[in-house]
Amino acid sequence: MGFLIAPLWHDGRPKGCPTPGMALVPTPTHRQPIVAVFGSSTVREPDAAWRDAHVLGGELARRGVATMTGGYGGAMAAASRGAHEAGGHVIGVTVDLFARRGAVNPCVRDRVHTPDSFEPLRHLVHSADGFVAAAGSIGTLTEVFLVWTMVSVEGREPAPIVLMGPQWHEWLAVHRGPAFVPERLHAFVEVADTPALAAQAVVDGIARARGAGVAAAARQPTPA
């Protein structure tokens, strides 16, 4: 266990970005909200999935949130570039196992490097304020199921989980039912068909989750 991390947020705004977005969700002044983006590492610029991830990164930045990915290529690089181009902050969570994939994508401004393949999942799951999953394969599905499980069993604070793209409707339908994922657990995820809708859904979800947390804290009895 253990990882190296550069300083993140100090005043709620991206460091070194010329046109940071205006924060649209309540947030402590020391840290901007972070959205973890999951997606395939194999998609390339001509692919629709790459373009969607790129647009998503820009949409997140313009809504005032930082983008956190696995830090390498494919959808991770696309979302990172989109966020960076829109003046947003980009965090990459990397691991020794995937060093052979090449250098960290150049839009990463804060890198969290971990020695084993479980620590990146731990960091992504527990550090992000919300999650968006783009199209992907078994790695993306692993991340989705892990986050879904941790949120549903209250293994971390409440957080929105948004599945981006119409293909997720069919995927959820296949997994719906008593033999797979019970109906009550589907309340923890939502599908957004476009990058703009996904960005807005996750930002709205972060605002709701933070509001619920503040309300819950206010209901705690005052020590005598």
Inform me whether the pLDDT recorded for 11 exceeds 60.
no
Compute the 3-state secondary structure of the chain and give helix, strand, coil in percent, each to the nearest 5: 45, 15, 40
CA 207 to chain centre: 15
Q: What is the pTM of this model?
A: 0.80
Q: How many helices (H) and strands (E) does the chain have?
A: 6, 8
Across the strands, what pairs with 197? none
Q: Which residue has the higher pLDDT, 37 or 73?
A: 37
Q: Cα(150)–Cα(1) distance, rounded to whole angstroms?
A: 19
Strand order of the sheet with strand 189-192? 4-5, 110-114, 90-95, 66-69, 34-38, 130-133, 161-164, 189-192
Residue 212 has a pLDDT of: 63
Single-letter code of the amino acid located at 186: H
Residue 22 has a pLDDT of: 30
Question: pLDDT tens for residues 18-41?
Answer: 333 333 343 443 478 999 999 998
Residue 121 has a pLDDT of: 86
For the ranges 75-79, 175-179, 198-202, the lowest mean pLDDT is seen at 175-179
Rounded to a whole number of angstroms, the CA Rg of the chain reads 17
